[in-house]
Structure 1
């Protein structure tokens, strides 16, 4: 069974947290073995003309590469990295921490825990103030 439907549910939670203004941070982590790509960080960035885009920072052993994408483009870019090399995606919100995890059989699951962050990211707070979300 593919883990894509579970990751799609997880991504809906990412979208929801941005729309509701509770988004704090999103990280792809826990690689399989020693890989060149170590982490990926996703954060919203305000656009000068209004609205927002997502910054995806791919952290490698020797460099960081940042790219900017819509929320739907970001899903298409990040999904292939699940299972190769990442086993975990961690969404931190002010309501709870939501973890997408692949087990050894590559079955996806979503786990919710108490929130790590008390406030949303600065960009999310600014987006609320400007009425973008």
Structure 2
């Protein structure tokens, strides 16, 4: 199955974990090549406006300042999609019940692997920009 379809299945697990209050963190990792962008993180933010995520772009270069924005889950999905297969080959969803890894192989096929949870509790993100 091509990675687009598999990523949609993966993202459904992200949405489900948010709805059930189990979402702890999401990390885009395994960069392709040596880009300046090192990781992209999503951390939960619960506010009066409802659920949002802190979207953080972390860079390798100390000259490039990390970027943080609070966005909706839908906005995060739209932001992350273009980085798949071009910049990152894996995305890891951390929940309080399991870790779910989405990987893209060299042929462009996506897979989903589940593991035991890394996090036992959900910790809200703190926006460094505030």
Alignment TM-score, normalising by the size of structure 2: 0.86
Name the counterpart of 2:96. Answer: 94
Report matched runs for 1:1-133 at 5 Å: 2-47=2-47, 49-62=48-61, 63-119=65-121, 121-123=122-124
How far apart are the structure 1 equivalents of 2:81 and 2:20? 23
Give the secondary-structure state (helix, strand or coil) at the position aligned to 1:104: coil
Name the counterpart of 1:131. Answer: none
Gaps of 5+ in 2: 126-130
Give the secondary-structure state (helix, strand or coil) at the position aligned to 1:5: helix
Alignment TM-score, normalising by the size of structure 1: 0.85
How far the C-alpha of 1:68 sits from its partner, in A, is: 2.1
User: CA RMSD of the aligned region, Å?
Assistant: 1.6
How far the C-alpha of 1:45 sits from its partner, in A, is: 1.4
What are the superposed Cα offsets for residues 41-80 of structure 1, whole Å, 9 maximum, x if unpaired? 1012123x34121111001123201122111111111011
How far apart are the structure 1 equivalents of 2:60 and 2:118? 27
Structure 1 stretches of 4+ moved >6 Å: none
How far apart are the structure 2 equivalents of 1:71 and 1:116? 22
Give the secondary-structure state (helix, strand or coil) at the position aligned to 1:122: coil
Aligned length: 122
How far apart are the structure 1 equivalents of 2:75 and 2:82? 12
How far the C-alpha of 1:35 sits from its partner, in A, is: 0.9
